[in-house]
Structure 1
Amino acid sequence: MKCCLDYCHEKGYEVSKRFSEAYSGLTLDRPKLRELQDLIRAGYIDVIVIYCLDRISRDPTHGVILTQEFERLNVALEAVTEDINNSELGKLISYIRGFASKLEAEKIRERTMRGKMAHLKEGKLPQGTGIGIYGYSWDKTTGKRQIIDHETETVRRMFDMAINGISTNKIAITLNESGIRTKSGSLWYPLTIRRILKNQTYTGKTYYGMTKRVGKNKVVAQPKENWILLPDITPPIITDGIFNQAQEAMKNARDSRPMKSNAAYLLTGFIKCPKCGSPIGGTTMNGKYRYYQCRGARPTATRGKICDAGYIKADKLECEVWKKVVEMASSPITILLRQYEHKCVDRINPLPSFD
């Protein structure tokens, strides 16, 4: 008791109640412990000071129960002789609490899966996720999708343009220039267009189990035999025929511009435009002439042309760069001189600091 009182004095704690009992620490049915719990629940105690952790309980399970109750009521537990979190009993209590939390998480997951399977048996989609797919709204009451007329028109327009050989990039540019925005109000990107054109949901087919979440952020595609078809969840916007025509058109467009085996661009990702600072990448003209071009010199789906840099012949540029690499690799002194020059430049023109 004296050690506990000295500890409280050093900490500046005001001692409002003292407890001492001869009951076994293997039981929770102890008069003084019950009295302590009553005071805690009444809000009379902020900190409990004990000599060592086994004074509050010798049973790790009981220790979990008590420490959880103390935490729930915002009451700190401190020991004179040990750091509670690092003591052997404290580590065991932490392990048991972690195991119990994991067990509870598994139970919640299992109950959630049972609920989803019950919805599937009733022909209902287990959940409406996020903002939903373009062209539809989610009706929580019926558990079904509802068509949004003006978005539906845009979806049909996308498929029509794709069937007529228009690329996803040009489709995105057309929609952006027309002032049409995505469901979230953003500009259209070619990848977004492509995902819509590849989404069979627009034919009225709703599948559950196409993907599976692994961890927090990873989503893994599942084999088709694991998919579950749910009828009457999604009204069709296009026919199967239109969907198949769009897939065929995109395949033909992809096959008509295959990547040549000699079309590698060794400097892509390593050079930038001296005019605008944009990356410089490779491009092929007429299917055989290789060039490097500033990415800023070509408009994208979301911006116009921002640079007037011309084309650079790939063979000539790569040859010049390779000569420099060989020259420097064969002369270590040259490499050291280059490094020294860069250091001198950095000293003369230090990078600006941002506070």
Structure 2
Amino acid sequence: MNIAIYIRVSTDEQVQGFSIDVQKERLSAFCTSQGWDDPKLYIDDGYTGTNMNRPALKRLIRHIEESKIDTVIVYKLDRLGRKQKDVLHLLEDVFDKNNVAFKSATEPFDTGTSLGKAMIGILAVFAQLERDMIIERTTSGRRQRTGKGMWYGGRLAFGYEWNKDAQMLEVKPEEAHIVREIFKKYLNGESRLSIAEWAAKRTKSRKFDHSIIREILSRVLYTGKLINAGEVVEGNHEPIIDIETWEAVQAETTRRKDGGSPVGEYLLTGLLVCGVCGGNIVHVKRITNRAGRQYVYELYACKKQHVRKKDRAGESCTLGYYRREKVEQFVIDEIRKLSVSSSRVKEVIDKKQSIEPDANIRTNLQSKLDSVVSGIENLYDAIQTGAVKASAISDRLSKLEEERESIQLQLDEIEVAPVYRDYKIVHKRMKEFNKAWPFLTEPEQKRMLRSVVTHVVLNKDEDHEVIWNAT
């Protein structure tokens, strides 16, 4: 007889007596008591029972279909699955269909009798009930924590670390610096892929691809807030970016399409925000005919005002319509005003600096670099003294060298990058911008504009406001 032992344990169940070794020991003893020799082991270590996407289970099903298994043994029914429909599918469509018996070592039933089949159905119901109750308790606990401004758990967001004693998220300065640059680069028109490639060269603490960048850009957590049952609430952790930057990024994300040009078709595409309702601004083209001539008007308007009522679920806005060329000229004129007024530049810098955290990024990076370099030197010393073989620690050395290189790259950038918090430097930059503007191509103008402007707020009566990128 060909016996299969199926063992499953999720990560959380390791501490609850369901460990791999415990199940293996008891199931092996059970097989011995039944006179079954050499059972085949199928082990899913660290896999949840809420779905059937488990490698050992898939292999077991394949072997059953190939008639290599006569009986399947589990420690407990819920090891097979936590969902009733999954358990019944395995019993009816896999085991029964292929004449394979099923037994539980701790529960008094098997599929060889009608009563056993009925018991399995009942226990499968309770297994799912237990799962649903766990989900309900977890959801309730999460909402209670979030309601108090406490992080609800899960994978740590890049840029933060968990302070177990204080029970709160704390900013990691060297990672927070990268997060701010990610948001800035995105608003400057760079693609998620190019940002991911940039970030991957500057830290080894997290792997980056375009989907990770998308996740970072969408998380309101970076503004010091949390999501509780779909509502945004205040958190007790320090923000890494301001809410205005986050909202500008969400507007930019809404505008972009995969494969499309990140910068957009128009000069201010993705930079405009409604000052009445905070909604997205859309480009509107109107054509009228008068006295045998055709006139084309290009306008900016809030999407909630312009889009047909049935498409906006009753939401409305009263911003109004503004000529595209006038809005664009307003922004250019504002830049020119900064280029001729150093006192006005100083006001912008002081306002921006007052809301941005002044982290000791360089000190933290240098400390981290010293630690990595010390680790590398210790490993080389161990090789030279013969304490270890080079081949035994080559992987470790390689990872440390990569980490050293990424930290050094960040330090070099901080060392050489201009710091625009000095209003004189910003003033000089604005003058250069104003001087170069007439000679730039349209794509160059779009990118250059995004380097100095975070977004533009359209207000009623043309009392618009430019939010500057003055860092």
Normalised TM-score (structure 2) = 0.30
Q: Computing the radius of gyration over CA atoms, which structure comes out larger, 1 or 2?
A: 1
Normalised TM-score (structure 1) = 0.38
Greater relative contact order structure (CA < 8 Å, 6+ sep):
2
